[in-house]
Structures are given as C-alpha cells and as structure tokens.
C-alpha cells in the first residue's frame, strides 16, 4: 500500500512539472494568417531555451524556401535555430550547409550523437535532430553541449509566443518584395539614375 501511494505521489509530482511550459496546440486561423503574411508556416515556428541566451530583436523570420529561423544571443556568442520540413541522414548531413558559417562554403563534418547529429563547419558548430518530418537545428559559436541542449529542448511556439513573435496582421496579400519582376530570371530590378 505504501509503495502504491508513493508511486502516485511521484506520478503527481511529475505531472505537475509538465505545466511549466505552455502547451502548443494547433495555431489559430488568425495566427496562421499572420504567419503566412510574414512568409512563414506557423507549424514550423519553434522556440528554445538556452541559459544566458535571449532572443534577438528581428531574429524570427523565414529560412530558405519554406523554413523558419530565430537568433538568440549571449555576449559575443549566438545561437541560430532553424526548422524545416526535411530529413537528414548520413548521405545528406555533409551536404547541408551550416547557417552563417565563416568561411562561406566550409566543409561540414558530421558525427552521429544518439538520435541526432553533431555537425561542425568553419567557425560554427551545430546539432541537428529529426522530429518526424521536421528537422530542428541549432548552430552557433558557443559550446557543443549548449547547442545540443538547445536543439533537444526546442518545441513549437505556444499561441502566446506566436502572437508575440509575429508581425501584426495587415490587409491584403502576403508581403512581397517590390523589386522582383514577375517574368524573367527573377533578378532584382535596379534601375540606374543620372550618372549611371
């Protein structure tokens, strides 16, 4: 009997601890629309926690064709969280560039680490972990264990976090760059003025 009561107390404490983070259910239609206007898929907007790091102003935004990125900083170090609908394996790991690496195009070295990948390229490290069809990566200039922990604790943003991160709703279509032509190779329109 004492063992059963002790088990119930431990279970109750474990469940009570689960309420510390906001649960991320499906985003509302309003948040989905705001994300779309910002060029984002609301289901790919993630957040993470890393001791001493805070989200930078203007950090959240599109990454690649359809992904999401956010940037956290701590003094001279930064963390870049990227989330995409893609997979990673031994063949694709070395071909996937690490964001903001210097020098650009530096080769990527990959090592399996549990169910994730430790990746190193140029001046940056990265930890990548698959979450179903979603690939979560955290790269940066900080220690490898910080990158790994930040990637492993990354989670979909709650409704309140989405509301805070997304720009206010606007009337009309998603934001489009005004200097991209509708036809041709898509190069920006850069008309010259007097003198060249």
Q: What is the pTM of this model?
A: 0.74
Name the CA radius of gyration of the chain, rounded: 21
Domain coordinates in residue numbering, the chain? 47-155
Instruction: Please tell me the predicted confidence (pLDDT) of residue 135.
Output: 98
Burial 28-59 (b: 16+ CB within 10 A, else e): eeebbbbbebbebbbbbbbbbebeebebeeeb
Which three-class secondary structure state does DSSP give residue 21?
Answer: coil
User: Is the model's pLDDT at 12 over the cut of 50?
Assistant: no
Cα–Cα–Cα angle for 138, 88, 64, nearest 5°? 60
For 114-139, the pLDDT digits (tens) are 999 999 999 999 999 999 999 999 99
Give how far Cα 73 sits from Cα of 44, 51, 118, 120, 161, Å.
Answer: 21, 10, 20, 19, 18
CATH topology of domain 47-155: Protein Transport Mog1p; Chain A (3.40.1000)
Please tell me which residue, 195 or 70, carries the higher pLDDT value.
70
């Amino acid at each position: 009997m004492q063992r059963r009561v002790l088990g119930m107390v431990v279970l109750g404490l474990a469940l009570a601890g689960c309420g510390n983070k906001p649960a991320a259910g499906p985003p509302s239609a309003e948040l989905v629309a705001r994300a779309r206007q910002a060029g984002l898929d609301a289901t790919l907007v993630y957040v993470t926690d890393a001791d001493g790091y805070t989200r930078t102003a203007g950090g959240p935004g599109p990454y690649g064709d359809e992904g999401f990125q956010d940037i956290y900083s701590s003094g001279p170090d930064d963390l870049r969280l990227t989330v995409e609908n893609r997979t990673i394996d031994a063949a694709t790991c070395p071909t996937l560039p690490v964001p903001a690496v210097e020098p650009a195009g530096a080769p990527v070295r990959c090592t399996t680490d549990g169910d994730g990948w430790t990746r190193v390229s140029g001046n940056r490290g990265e930890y990548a972990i698959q979450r179903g069809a979603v690939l979560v990566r955290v790269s940066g200039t900080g220690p490898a264990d910080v990158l790994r922990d930040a990637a492993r604790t990354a989670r979909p943003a709650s409704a309140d976090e989405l509301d805070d991160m997304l720009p206010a709703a606007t009337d009309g279509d998603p934001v489009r760059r005004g200097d991209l032509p509708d036809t041709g190779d898509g190069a920006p329109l850069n008309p010259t003025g007097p003198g060249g």
